[in-house]
Amino acid sequence: MPKKSKRPLIVSLVCFLVLCPLTAVLGALFLKSRSYYLIAVVMIFEAIVPFFFYFEHRKIKTSELVTVAVMISLCVVSRIFFVFLPQVKPMCAFVVVTGCVFGANVGFVTGALSIFISNFAFGQGMFTPFQMLAMGLCGFFSGLIFYKKDTVKNRLTVALSGAALCFFVYGFLVDTCSVLMLDAVGSINEAVGIYASGAVFNLIHAVTTFVVLMLVIKPMNDKLSRLRIRYGIFAYQ
Amino acid sequence: MKGCGLKNAHPVVGFLYFLSVFLLSLSMSHPVIAAVSLLFAVFYDGYLKGKKAVKSIVFAVVPVVLFVPLINGLFSHYGVTVLFVMKSGNSFTFEAVVYGLFLAVKFLSVMFWLDCFNEIIDGDKFVYLFGRFSPRLALVISMTLRFIPMLRDGYSEIEKAGRGIGFSDSDKNLVKKFKDTAHKLSVLITWVLERAIDTSYSMKARGYGAKRRSAYSKYVFTSFDGLLCAVVAALSGLSCFCVFGLRALYNPIIIIDSFTLPDTLSFASFVMLLLLVYAVDIREKKLVKPFEERKPDGYLMYG
């Protein structure tokens, strides 16, 4: 067993404990209330870097790398497939599945990159960084909850927590983006209004995620577990 | 093709240009500067995309300009000029509406600049720009971009094979249709995962992971690209002065800074920054003449 590299740990500590607070303080001091959005985007960037840094430096097999690319392309295609129905995006469900079976870090990378790549088709917008972080966190948390656990076989649990992640994590972060863009931070009323108007869309998204997860978690888990057992892809150590 | 100047330039130039325009557009607080930025953004978007842009202009500008001031007026009640008092007892103020209008203009200008960014910088260029920082991630992105059309082709092949063994498209039964599609998608996913394993064997056989990966790139950084980078940096540096210096206050009364001489000069450099893309285009057009014009007199090209 080779010694684990400490660099990813150092990078994440520096990013989370030094850079993020520093950005917040410096932003508050120098930009004042001029652009909360800009400060938020810089902080999101600093929050995403550690995950990608770990992915870049962890030991990974070639076959695992290609599998990640395939999972991302499945997520992207699932979003493009339903482009004509607004908010009906099965993408979140596939990200959750990836997180469950392949672990938290792969879940994050899959989520963030699928948003990023599919936005080349949908158009990169001011939402992109927020969506990347939010979708990445959906994959990350589902990995934390279900990776290497038997509960992943319980369809209802996975689907419910997937829907909850979609509603609370993804919905909240993306609505926060609208709040910051419309500069509604000054008045609580306006912010609450924006969150409330977003809730309907988030609910549709969460219900979609729930339904799709109920349908796909069993077959997908079987397919991906087969890869793990037969080819040793993201095998449990 | 329009916009070729920036498209054919080195990706670093395009990225630097849009990065500085985004940052400037995001941090401005003077209404005149915001309006000018929006005007140029919409014009450049139309210039790049032609008729395609009209739809997005109409569907983005009209609702945002109508609704954001309205929402801001309904929820924020600062300001001294009360237009009318709402049923809830809160006042609907002129200042809140004007601030909403300013926010809408700022938001739209960033949105249209992003639209232009999408036209100039595509996935390939992005991978080229950031591949050196994270080669593994760049590899994953470019593999993903390859797998997406592969999934589409695979699905149509599976569909054909399915028709051969008796799944028919003309089935009116929705439940059966749904089941058939689910089955085909399941086949597709199994197929593409197997394909991933094959790809990885092939990569290993060609020596992936044996040594540091080198990357091929088709972009060449010319001296003109260097000049462009310097000009973009200089102009945006000068523009910072008016973008950060000129402020406007909307609460409780509207106070808008007026332009002094240095502000005007800095503002001129901002406008020059926004006009730069057209200059690059004109140069490109002069450089790459249409085929007929290049034909020397009295010389038959096709015998």
Structural domain boundaries of chain A?
1-59, 60-231
Amino acid B114: pLDDT = 87
CA distance A101 to A165: 17
Q: If you average pLDDT over every residue of chain A, what do you get?
A: 87
The CATH code for residues A60-231 is 1.10.1760.20
Residue B158's identity, in one-letter code, is I
CA distance A117 to B130: 14
B123 pLDDT band, cuts 50/70/90, is: confident
Stretch B81-90: mean pLDDT: 76
Q: Which two tokens stand for residue A85?
A: 């129905």
Amino acid B293: pLDDT = 56
Three-class SS of B32-60: HHHHHHHHHHHHHHHHHHCCHHHHHHHHH
| C-beta atoms of A187 and B76 within 8 A | yes
Residue span of the structural domain in which B118 resides: 4-126+218-291
Lowest-pLDDT range, A28-42, A77-91, A140-154, B29-43? A28-42
The shortest CB-CB distance from B200 to any of A37, A63, A186 is to A63
CA distance B175 to A102: 32
Amino acid B5: pLDDT = 79
Residue A200's identity, in one-letter code, is V
Number of alpha helices (DSSP H) and beta strands (DSSP E) in chain A:
10, 0
User: A59 CB near a chain B CB, below 8 Å?
Assistant: no
Residues B232, B151 within the same domain: no
| C-beta atoms of A183 and B103 within 8 A | yes
Q: Higher-confidence residue: B81 or A186?
A: B81
Q: If you average pLDDT over every residue of chain B, what do you get?
A: 84
User: A95 CB near a chain B CB, below 8 Å?
Assistant: no
Q: How far does the CA of residue B88 sit from the closest CA of chain A (Å)?
A: 13
- What are the helix (H) ranges across A20-103? 20-26, 36-57, 62-81, 91-102
On whether residue B297 sits in a domain, the answer given is: no
Residues B100, B20 within the same domain: yes
Amino acid B276: pLDDT = 92
Could you give the percent of chain B with pLDDT greater than 90? 26
The shortest CB-CB distance from B144 to any of A56, A62, A73 is to A73
Amino acid B243: pLDDT = 82
Amino acid B85: pLDDT = 78
Residues B120, B236 within the same domain: yes
Residues B182, B242 within the same domain: no
Residues B265, B122 within the same domain: yes
Amino acid B170: pLDDT = 67
User: B185 CB near a chain A CB, below 8 Å?
Assistant: no
Amino acid A48: pLDDT = 92
For residue B91, report the phi and psi dihedrals to the nearest 5 degrees.
Answer: -95, 145
Q: What is the dihedral of CA B112, B115, B121, B127, to 10 degrees?
A: 110
Residues B13, B98 within the same domain: yes
| C-beta atoms of A113 and B141 within 8 A | yes
Amino acid B303: pLDDT = 42
- In this structure, are residues A80 and A120 in contact, taking their beta carbons and an 8 Å threshold? no
Amino acid A32: pLDDT = 64
Stretch A143-157: mean pLDDT: 87
Residues B231, B119 within the same domain: yes
Residue B40's identity, in one-letter code, is F
Q: Which two tokens stand for residue A63?
A: 């076959």
Nearby residues of A225 by Cβ (< 8 Å), 6 or more positions away: A101
Residue B301 in this model has a pLDDT that exceeds 60:
no
Q: How far does the CA of residue A227 sit from the closest CA of chain B (Å)?
A: 8
Domain count, chain B: 2
Beta bridge partner(s), residue B184? none
Stretch A173-194: mean pLDDT: 79
Residue A150 in this model has a pLDDT that exceeds 90:
no
CA distance B99 to B93: 10
Amino acid A133: pLDDT = 95
Q: Higher-confidence residue: A34 or B23?
A: B23
Residues B160, B201 within the same domain: yes
Each residue's pLDDT tens digit, A5-27 = 788 888 888 888 888 888 888 88
